[in-house]
Amino acid sequence: MYPIKLESLLNHKEYIRKPILFLSCLSFEQRCKTALRNINAIQNSDIHWKFFRLKDNGSHYEKECLSLQNDIVREIRELFGIENQDIPEYDLFDAQPWEEIISYYKKIIEDNPNIETVIIDITTIPKICYFKFLKWLLQEGLENRDLIICYTKPEEYGDSKLESDPIKPSLLIGNLESGNDILWIPSLGFKSAFTKIILDKIRESDREVEKKIMPMIGFPAYRPDYFDKVLILHVKEGDQELNKSLENPILAAADNPFDVYAQLIKIINNNRGKNIILSPLGPKPMSIGLALVAIRENLPVLTIQARTYHPDYSKGESLYSAPA
C-alpha cells in the first residue's frame, strides 16, 4: 500500500466511518492547519475537533513563535466555533506529555464513545510524544476504531542551524540491552549533529561488542536536492565510520512509511540475535514506518529533540498525505 492524498481518501466518504475524532497539536507552523481545513471542506459533519498545545517546543523561547502560535489558536477557535473549548497545554520537557495526551484522548473517548474513526495529525507533534502515544493507541486505545495518520510536509525547510542545541538522547520505546553486537539503523535527516550525538552515546555503551551502522535515507526525497543535502551534512561531521556507512545506505521513499516498514522487517529478519536500535531522525512519514516496526518487534527507539525552533524552521505547506 502507498500513502494516499487526504483529498482522495476523504472524497470516498463511504469508506470513512463516522463520527470522526480529529486530534492535532497547534504549533507556530502554518501547515498545522492544512489537514483540518481539508477535512472540514470535505467532511464537515460528525467530526469532533480536538487540539492541544505544547509549551517549550520553541514557542516559549521565541516571542515570534509564541505570537504565531497564539494567532493560529485564535483562528482555529473562530473557524470551528470552539471559543469556549479548553485547549490543554502540556510541558514538552519537564513532564511526560505523552501520558497527558493519552489521558486527554481517553477523556474524549469517554465523552464520545460512539467515535468510529480516529485521525491523528502528527505534523507538529514531536516524535518524543507521538511514538509513545501511537504505541499505546495501537495496543490498547483503538479498540474497534479505524486509524488514519496524517502529515503535511512544508514547501521547504529553513536553515537547520536556526534550531538550538539539542538536549540529550531519549529512549522512546523499548529497552537498551547489552551483551550482543549492536546494529544501529537511523533514518537520516538534516540534523547531522543529532546523528553524531546518538552515535557517540551508542559507542559509549557496552564497549566490548561490535557496533555496525546501517543508515536509511529518503530516496526519492521530497525534493531531488534533499538526498544530496543529507549526505553532505553528515559527511561534514567527519566521522570515519559514519562516512563509510553512507557509501551504501538503505534507500526508502521519504513519504512512504510502508516502504520503510517492509525494508526494516527484511533487515531485522536477517540480523536476529543482534541488539537492533532504531533512530527516527528523518522525515516523519519514515518515522511512522520505523515506529510500527519497533512496536511489532519490541525494539528500542533512540532519538533526540531540539530544545527550541526558529520561526523559519519550515516555510509554507505542500501536498498533504494520509497513510491509513
On whether residue 162 sits in a domain, the answer given is: no
92 backbone dihedrals φ, ψ, rounded to 5°: -75, -30
56 confidence band (pLDDT: 50, 70, 90):
low
- Alpha carbon distances (Å) from 280 to 84, 125, 170, 288: 37, 14, 11, 9
Residues 20 and 143 in one domain: yes
> Each residue of 125-149: pLDDT tens digit?
999 899 999 999 999 999 999 999 9
Per-residue confidence (pLDDT) for residue 208, from 0 to 100: 77
> Each residue of 177-187: pLDDT tens digit?
877 899 999 99
58 confidence band (pLDDT: 50, 70, 90):
very low
Nearest to 252 by CA among 284, 286, 277, 224: 286
> Each residue of 252-269: pLDDT tens digit?
999 899 999 999 999 999
Q: Look up residue 72 and give its three cell numbers.
A: 493560529
On whether residue 214 sits in a domain, the answer given is: yes
**Contact, 315 vs 221, CB < 8 A?**
no
Q: Is the pLDDT of residue 163 over 60?
A: no
Residues 185 and 278 in one domain: yes
Residues 83 and 50 in one domain: yes
Residues 199 and 245 in one domain: yes
**Contact, 104 vs 129, CB < 8 A?**
no
* Residue 69, domain extent: 4-157+317-322
Q: Give the CA radius of gyration of the chain.
A: 19
> Each residue of 198-253: pLDDT tens digit?
999 999 876 778 999 999 999 998 888 999 999 999 999 999 999 999 999 999 99
Mapped onto helix, strand or coil, the DSSP state of residue 324 is coil
On whether residue 312 sits in a domain, the answer given is: no
* CATH number where 98 lies: 3.40.50.620
Per-residue confidence (pLDDT) for residue 59, from 0 to 100: 44
Q: What is the spatial distance between Cα 182 and Cα 199, in angstroms, rounded to a whole number?
A: 11
Residues 65 and 130 in one domain: yes
On whether residue 310 sits in a domain, the answer given is: no
Nearest to 22 by CA among 59, 50, 62: 50
Between strands 146-152 and 320-322, the pairing is antiparallel
Q: Is the pLDDT of residue 1 over 60?
A: no
Q: Is the pLDDT of residue 280 over 90?
A: yes
> Each residue of 61-116: pLDDT tens digit?
567 777 888 888 898 888 888 877 789 999 887 778 999 999 999 999 999 999 99
Question: SS3 for 63-93, per residue?
Answer: HHHHHHHHHHHHHHHHHHCCCCCCCCEEECC
Phi and psi based region of residue 224 (left: phi greater than 0; alpha: psi -120 to 50; beta: remaining)? alpha
Q: Look up residue 258 and give its three cell numbers.
A: 510502508
Residues 102 and 14 in one domain: yes
- Residues 150, 153, 158, 160: is their CA dihedral positive or negative? positive
208 Cβ contact partners less than 8 Å away, ≥ 6 residues apart: none
On whether residue 148 sits in a domain, the answer given is: yes
In which residue are the cell numbers 522525515 written? 283
Q: What residues pair up with 48 in beta bridges, in sequence order?
A: 21
Per-residue confidence (pLDDT) for residue 64, from 0 to 100: 78
Per DSSP, 177 falls in state: -
What amino acid is encoded at 130 in this protein? Y
Residues 145 and 247 in one domain: no
Residues 32 and 11 in one domain: yes
Residues 126 and 189 in one domain: no
Q: Is the pLDDT of residue 278 over 50?
A: yes
Q: Look up residue 12 and give its three cell numbers.
A: 470516498
Q: Look up residue 222 and give its three cell numbers.
A: 521530497
Q: Look up residue 225 and give its three cell numbers.
A: 536536492
Residues 202 and 114 in one domain: no
Structural domain count, the chain: 2
Residues 133 and 108 in one domain: yes
* CATH number where 191 lies: 3.40.50
Q: Cα angle at 304 between 306 and 119, to 5 degrees?
A: 85
> Each residue of 148-159: pLDDT tens digit?
999 988 776 665
Q: Name which residue leads in pLDDT, 128 or 309.
A: 128
Q: Is the pLDDT of residue 161 over 60?
A: no
Residue 219 exposed, middle or buried by CB count within 10 Å (0-12, 13-18, 19+): middle
320 confidence band (pLDDT: 50, 70, 90):
very low
> Each residue of 8-52: pLDDT tens digit?
777 666 778 899 999 999 988 888 888 888 888 876 678 999 999
Residues 249 and 206 in one domain: yes
